[in-house]
Structure 1
Amino acid sequence: MDDKTMDDKTPLPAYSASTAPSSMRLEKSEKSEYSSTDLPPTYEPPKRFTIGESTTLEPLVSIQQIKGHLALLRAFAELKTQIENYDTSKVHKLSDADAKWAWFVGLAVERFDRWCQLLQPDVASQSTQDVMPPIDVLMVWHAYMLNPRWYAEDGLRQASCEILRSLEVHFLGILEDPSLISYPTTARIQLWEARTLGLPFDHIASMHTLNQRSLWCPNCESAITVDLLLDDGKGYLQQGFVTTCSHCGQGDITKAVLAHRKLAADIAVMPINNAQSRLAGSYWPPSSDTSKVDQAKTLVYTNAKPFHTGQPALNEFNAASTELRGYMTKAIMKQHDTMVKLRTQLQVRCSGRIFNRVITAYNDDKVYSIDLVGAVLRQGTFVKKMYDLGWTQPGFFSGYDDELALHHALARYHAFLDLMTTSPVSFFVPTLDIDLVWHTHQLLPAKYEADTALYLKRFIDHDDKVEGLRLSSAFDMTCKAWKGRFNVSYTHCGCAVVGDTIGQRLTRMVGLFGKPEEPPSHLIPANRGDLLAATHPSDHNAVHFQARTESAHKVAVRRYEALAWKKQKEQQKWDKKRAKSLAQHDDERRKPGYIHDTMFLTPVPLFYPIGGLGYGYVGGYAGGCVGGGGGVVGDVSGSCASCGSGGVCGGGGCAGSSAGGSACGGGGGGGCGGGGGGGCGGGGGGGGCGGGGS
């Protein structure tokens, strides 16, 4: 693909249009060879579903919305291909494809941030064709919404995010008709440029012009202009970011220092009487832990008052004044002069999962409580899975028989929600088809919130903090719970979990080939390769626990590498046995587009933080799940940064264990991130697990 194959003038796939060229689709003849158990022509997919004790009046997500989502995923996949093949030598010397993509995603987040911060309340009243941002910015917004708890809370706490949420009706319009943004109108381009202070609408043009950003000095609050990428690895999008304020002379301004000021400023908002006055991660959804965070915040605020030694005195201000907040922010930073010290003080009254969640929201100076670069990178492997399955091809589901595959995925998603009502404290792992519908539901944020509250009596998160080894156990539990609830196998892709006993493997094979007594027909896929592969566990997520020191990082690396080697040997041994006993079955599964990698490889730590808080991403992916109990599994004070290499029968492998951090070194964690953890983005880790509420 050349540099201009995919841009904002390239139409998004229109699923209502005629089918794609034969070379790009799985032909009917190919599909039919898998169709010995296809449902009869008279089959009508269900239109109402039971979730717990309730029955829906209609499906929670429409087939057209799923198709529209697939059209967007194809646009994202083609955008990634374009960037990876683009010659960046005139901008930055980035020869590695992963490094190019990580850098580009960093730029996309900068573009999204400027657009979001400059949104005006009247923007929602304009037409979808005119108001929607470019495709790269849509990609960032899409990833943001797929972290529904953070997205919902930020919309309550931050004014700019509240305006962003008013545009959700336009995002719905794209799902209903992706062609609305296929060709940017003149009005759309002009509105974008006017609302972003002249940023080019075209993402390629922006790559050549967007090389700096402004931030506020945490000491004197003067505006500082910093480079996004530098040869010495100290650019804003790089792990080793550091700068100096030319106004007050403060040096060593890092992401950790910016995060320190962001947290201090939020603590300084008093009194605690609304969403804006609460710390990120502590407000939505409401829980009993909120009071603990409020107490911790009040304690830090009160203890910092004596550290304000200037004039005028604090008691001369109104309690909610902006001036008082500014003085108290400096007082808090003066008393607790590092992020580590401030975190320690908060822990006096607040600890555990709620504390971990709050702290993870403070990693830079942006208003968003989630690292959007990491969020986009984590979605990359899921996008690739859908693309490789062929499901994003234009016209792939244009026929009635083909569309039944989406009805099947829709039915399984409703069953997945029903399963969650049976065990509110368990973690359940979605398959690819279920995750597709789940993601689509999350792209309707207000509806998703209302639906989960109505049918599950709690908010269901889709978080990114489940470690790979725990994920494997969660998937096995999901299979058993599904079988017990619906009397049908959960996955039909033929993959086996490493370490199963012979009895467990036989049980799974019986579940694969045997016929349940009376299973729900809408939960059984037709015997077609892509449909069976879609019941494969979703693996676009991983968790990264950050080591505090280099020595701790090295110890963790050795421990995890040894365990990974052991697991890989077990996998190789199992693969040989499986190849002999299931040769014919494997041949069918290995047809183009349906190849699976190893399940749940052991995560390997990739970097330790610099300057108190690490900023980088791990390579590989581990898989996602939904947990009814809510909360955060990840702990920023943990012992290592781990990636879920390989993930659920597929996903990227570990890129290496070195931290890197020099200018866009790519691969192995250095520079722009590549497959590992550093620089301006990294190779994608973490993401997409669910915590079910509080």
Structure 2
Amino acid sequence: MPSLFRSKDKREKEKEESADTHRPTSENAQNGGSNEALPAYSAQDTAASGPDDVAPSADVDLAAAFAKLSLPSTAADPDPDTCLAHLKLLFAIQSLKEDIGYTDGLWNIWDTRAEGTEVSLAEVQPEPPSEKERGNAVLSKIREKRWALFVARAVERYEAWWNSLPKDELRVTDMQAGADAKYDLFVHRDAQGFWTTGNMLPLDVLMVMHSHMLNPRDFLEDCIRNGLNSLWTSGMPWPLVHEAIDTDFNYNVSDDTKARWVAQTGRSWENTDDPLIKELKCPACRASLSVPWTTCGLDENDKTSSRPGLIGSGYGDGKFVYNCPSCSVQIDKEFLSVAKFVNDTTALLGYSAPMPGTVLEPTTGKPEPIPDGTKGAIWPRTFPNRMIERVLRIKIVELIGPGVTPRPTMFDVRQLVEDALGSNTTVRYIDGLVAYSSRISYRLSPVAKVSVRKMMSRYWDNFSPFALDLGGAVMRQGIFADKMHRIDWLHSPAARETMARLVRKYGRFVEIMAAHPARVCVPTLDVDLAWHTHQLSPRAYYKFTTEKTGKFVDHDDKIDEDKLSEAFEFTSKEYQDRYGEVYSECTCWYCETIRASHVSSVGKLLGVSSQERVAESFYASGTANLCPPDKSAHISAHNAVKTNETAARARITRQMRVYQQRRLEANYQKAVKRAAKKGRQLPPRAEYYDHWGYSYYMYSPFVYPLYFTPGLYYAGDPGFVQGGAGAWANCAAGSCGNGGVAAGACGGPGGCGSPGGCGSSSGGCAGSGGGCGGGGGGGCGGGGGGCGGGGGGGGCGGGGGC
């Protein structure tokens, strides 16, 4: 299988080849819902080679093509030119990733450590067939470690920039009806003009902001809480991004821009030029500490038998730990998460700053004002604020102090919340109903329960000031960038026609979400490019989705792999029923299997199956011949996660998972027979993904990324969520309840731990991470997205490791 990572020589060879590009005009997303048949992808669309193939069969003059881009100066709905500019940014990020991963010796992490090192791979991975391949497997983990550390530093640099911006922080009183335009009118104010050539960001920081914006509700919440209206309204500055990236995908800005960045943030322009020491305050005693970014470095010529491994205990490593010399408290990531919770509680008590997760209405994702009077006093969304103010305030503040032993974790916070929710008397007191008889049971609103989970989700495996762990988000988005790089529409002579087509297809996708607000809809890769591009103009995306669906449609950052496959099957069938065209224009075994699942035996027998006709026209038209399995836009594959279940939960969900697997197998056999009758043969099921030079076996396009390494990543393993009552990062008992939140699967950080709760496809709550609140539809993901964890991939570290 071709490598996703080109050698320097091959990249240079590709850069030298050029030709003209034809670029006709097209419609934008507003017209995407038409029932008129979309033009088929042409041979030119798929002619561009993958990253390690020979040069494109029809060369493209990128300089001439890019010169013709017409990009809006203000945030707007996606069009072909904006999608091309987005692809250009993804290519620049991919090039940056390659440069970092392949820089031997960066942070004293040398390739020579692969020699003689044992490698542990995921259970489904076959043993490397030779010593050379074994070495390549270790090298892939070494290169991944460099990139993971780089991403950790990039997130911290983004945080430094974010903290340097002038803010007008939100207060609870601002959310009252008619109180202040900075809350309910935030999404409607036209505060453009945030970006200039002088305040452009380094590429690594821009990459983090890109991932932040691709979690639309989280980005909106963070911007509202900090009063960053101009940033949210302006979105991604496409003309400036386009200008900064050349045809070799190098990112260039002026020296004045670099100097302004350094003066504003105190950080170097280049990530790798920043110090290897991280300065922070002890959360317990406020002493200044200097901690290493990584403890994984080792001199190239070091011959000692003891090696530090690739997990490490530095701030940017997988198992950060540091003992404060002043108060002796042990600081680790769990402790930092609690410190964040305590700080936010202090801000709530001190100057009425609402807790994260209580700013947007969970059912709509909108900033909806709190009504006046008695109704507002028990408004469900703000229940977490009242719970802390009236019951938990002292217990939370006292969690952290100099030398505290044992150090608190989010388990302790969850226990406090569970104790409060478990007492009907306490819940009534929180909502000011003490005058009523204690014998009358008071049922907490489902929306209040969802709001508790959303609040808690902001802290599990997340000690940043943001609503989610941006390090994990960057890793998952990297999967999508890899796939765009591999399909390589950017070098196709028909690139603009392709973009016009996928923008219209995206419009249809939104129509399906609007028609099925309680279902998760999963995009194909082409649809997802347009969807992502739209989200990078937050104000335009907000206006579009709220008008079309009545909700601010979220983009699920994590979704269980089994739920993903089930939702993709639904989306595919619905699309083909509505528009009479194949949804996933791909000929891989999985897409053939999904199409076979749509055809009923009775309908086929009677010759009245519309799905059969759609599938056959895909081949009869010749379109299928232009959609090879390794270069086609099938299921979007960047944020599937695996659910680590407790034993109790696994007993409940195992039967359902087995049923799903058997059903998929039966449909595959149906697809094989159908293809044989037509004289076709399905491609092999075995797929391999080249990750940093080693080919990892992938048993399906929708699975979580088996090639990532558990424990390597500084916040948490972004390819996993937890499932089962009492498990790490699951919700507090008493906070289960969907509350009308469409697509709000609740697994992962802040997710629901009770078996059978909240409506996951696998019998519990193992859907999107980040609590509940999916928001009207959009699950997006597939065989990529995170790393390791229990039951997953193999690690590389510890004593005697790398």
TM-score, L = length of structure 2: 0.61
Distance 2:94 2:669 in 1: 35
Match of residue 458 from structure 2:
361
- Answering whether residue 353 of structure 2 is matched by residue 277 of structure 1, we say yes
Q: 1:447 aligns with which of 524, 540, 558?
A: 540
SS class of match (1:246): coil
Alignment of 1:322-333 (within 5 A): none
User: Which segment drifts farther, 188-197 or 572-581?
Assistant: 572-581
Match of residue 210 from structure 1:
275
Distance 2:232 2:462 in 1: 22
SS class of match (2:323): coil
Match of residue 122 from structure 2:
none
Match of residue 99 from structure 1:
145
- Contact 1:61–1:441 (8 Å) recurs in 2: yes
Match of residue 141 from structure 1:
209
- Answering whether residue 487 of structure 2 is matched by residue 389 of structure 1, we say yes
Q: 1:228 aligns with which of 293, 301, 312?
A: 293
Q: 2:241 aligns with which of 162, 174, 196?
A: 174
- Answering whether residue 59 of structure 2 is matched by residue 71 of structure 1, we say no
Q: 1:240 aligns with which of 305, 319, 329?
A: 319
**What CA deviation, in whole Å up to 9, does each residue of 1:376-421 have, x standing for no partner?**
110112111111111133xx35xxx542211110110111111122
Distance 2:392 2:789 in 1: 43
Q: 1:260 aligns with which of 334, 338, 346?
A: 338
- Answering whether residue 210 of structure 2 is matched by residue 151 of structure 1, we say no
- Contact 1:108–1:140 (8 Å) recurs in 2: yes
SS class of match (1:225): strand
Match of residue 472 from structure 2:
374
Distance 2:100 2:569 in 1: 38
SS class of match (1:277): coil
Match of residue 616 from structure 1:
716
- Answering whether residue 262 of structure 2 is matched by residue 186 of structure 1, we say no
Q: Mark the CA change 1:191 to 1:653 in structure 2 (over 3 Å): closer, same or farther.
A: closer
**What CA deviation, in whole Å up to 9, does each residue of 1:609-648 have, x standing for no partner?**
99xx994215599xxxxx981434324464999999xx98
Distance 2:20 2:479 in 1: 21
Q: 1:600 aligns with which of 702, 705, 713?
A: 702
Q: Mark the CA change 1:236 to 1:127 in structure 2 (over 3 Å): closer, same or farther.
A: closer
SS class of match (1:86): coil
Distance 1:240 1:83 in 2: 22
Match of residue 117 from structure 1:
163
Match of residue 428 from structure 1:
521
Distance 2:324 2:102 in 1: 37
Cα drift, residue 371 of structure 1: 0.7
- Answering whether residue 628 of structure 2 is matched by residue 536 of structure 1, we say no
Q: 2:615 aligns with which of 496, 505, 512?
A: 512
AA paired with 1:430?
P
Q: Mark the CA change 1:182 to 1:270 in structure 2 (over 3 Å): closer, same or farther.
A: closer
**What CA deviation, in whole Å up to 9, does each residue of 1:479-523 have, x standing for no partner?**
12112222322222134545866955976564223279xxxx9xx
Cα drift, residue 184 of structure 1: 1.7
- Contact 2:214–2:536 (8 Å) recurs in 1: yes
Distance 2:283 2:25 in 1: 64
Cα drift, residue 228 of structure 1: 1.6
Match of residue 412 from structure 1:
505
User: Which segment drifts farther, 488-497 or 561-570?
Assistant: 561-570
Q: Mark the CA change 1:179 to 1:615 in structure 2 (over 3 Å): closer, same or farther.
A: closer
Q: Mark the CA change 1:84 to 1:137 in structure 2 (over 3 Å): closer, same or farther.
A: same
- Contact 2:640–2:783 (8 Å) recurs in 1: no
Alignment of 1:334-345 (within 5 A): 337-345=408-416
Cα drift, residue 116 of structure 1: 2.2
Q: 1:634 aligns with which of 747, 750, 757?
A: 747
- Contact 2:710–2:787 (8 Å) recurs in 1: no
Match of residue 586 from structure 2:
493
Q: 2:386 aligns with which of 283, 292, 298?
A: 298
Q: Mark the CA change 1:65 to 1:603 in structure 2 (over 3 Å): closer, same or farther.
A: closer
Q: Mark the CA change 1:530 to 1:110 in structure 2 (over 3 Å): closer, same or farther.
A: farther
AA paired with 2:360?
W
Match of residue 312 from structure 1:
none
Match of residue 61 from structure 1:
78
**What CA deviation, in whole Å up to 9, does each residue of 1:175-201 have, x standing for no partner?**
58855984321111111221221x332
User: Which segment drifts farther, 536-545 or 600-609?
Assistant: 600-609
Alignment of 1:648-667 (within 5 A): 651=784, 657=790
**What CA deviation, in whole Å up to 9, does each residue of 1:319-371 have, x standing for no partner?**
xxxxxxx889879x999954223223324347754333322211343211111
AA paired with 2:526?
D
Q: Mark the CA change 1:418 to 1:446 in structure 2 (over 3 Å): closer, same or farther.
A: same
SS class of match (2:95): helix
Q: Mark the CA change 1:288 to 1:442 in structure 2 (over 3 Å): closer, same or farther.
A: closer
SS class of match (1:243): strand
**What CA deviation, in whole Å up to 9, does each residue of 1:517-559 have, x standing for no partner?**
xxxx9xx9797437995441111112354568xx889999999
**What CA deviation, in whole Å up to 9, does each residue of 1:83-125 have, x standing for no partner?**
2211125633464222222122112212222222223579997
Alignment of 1:661-676 (within 5 A): 668-670=794-796
**What CA deviation, in whole Å up to 9, does each residue of 1:552-606 have, x standing for no partner?**
899999999999998998899789768866775657999x99x997243489899
- The alignment of Structure 1 onto Structure 2 pairs a total of residues equal to 593
Distance 1:571 1:473 in 2: 13
Cα drift, residue 293 of structure 1: 5.4
Cα drift, residue 256 of structure 1: 1.2
Cα drift, residue 433 of structure 1: 0.7
User: Which segment drifts farther, 430-439 or 342-351?
Assistant: 342-351
SS class of match (1:428): coil
- Contact 1:226–1:236 (8 Å) recurs in 2: yes
AA paired with 2:235?
E
AA paired with 1:109?
V
**What CA deviation, in whole Å up to 9, does each residue of 1:155-208 have, x standing for no partner?**
01135x6675476363564258855984321111111221221x33234x42xx
Distance 1:425 1:227 in 2: 47
Distance 2:707 2:454 in 1: 21
AA paired with 1:631?
G
AA paired with 1:300?
I
Q: 2:496 aligns with which of 394, 399, 403?
A: 403
SS class of match (2:84): helix
- Answering whether residue 260 of structure 2 is matched by residue 195 of structure 1, we say no
- Contact 1:620–1:653 (8 Å) recurs in 2: yes
Distance 2:83 2:523 in 1: 16
Distance 1:619 1:295 in 2: 31
Percentage of identical aligned residues = 25
Distance 1:169 1:59 in 2: 10
Give ranges in structure 2 of 5+ residues lacking alignment: 36-74, 112-138, 169-190, 297-307, 366-377, 422-443, 690-696, 722-739, 756-763, 769-779
Distance 2:76 2:193 in 1: 28
Distance 1:221 1:279 in 2: 23
Cα drift, residue 141 of structure 1: 1.0
Q: Mark the CA change 1:76 to 1:577 in structure 2 (over 3 Å): closer, same or farther.
A: farther
Q: Mark the CA change 1:490 to 1:269 in structure 2 (over 3 Å): closer, same or farther.
A: same
SS class of match (2:512): helix
**What CA deviation, in whole Å up to 9, does each residue of 1:57-88 have, x standing for no partner?**
x9931221111001001111111111221112
AA paired with 1:513?
E
User: Which segment drifts farther, 562-571 or 84-93?
Assistant: 562-571
Match of residue 682 from structure 1:
none
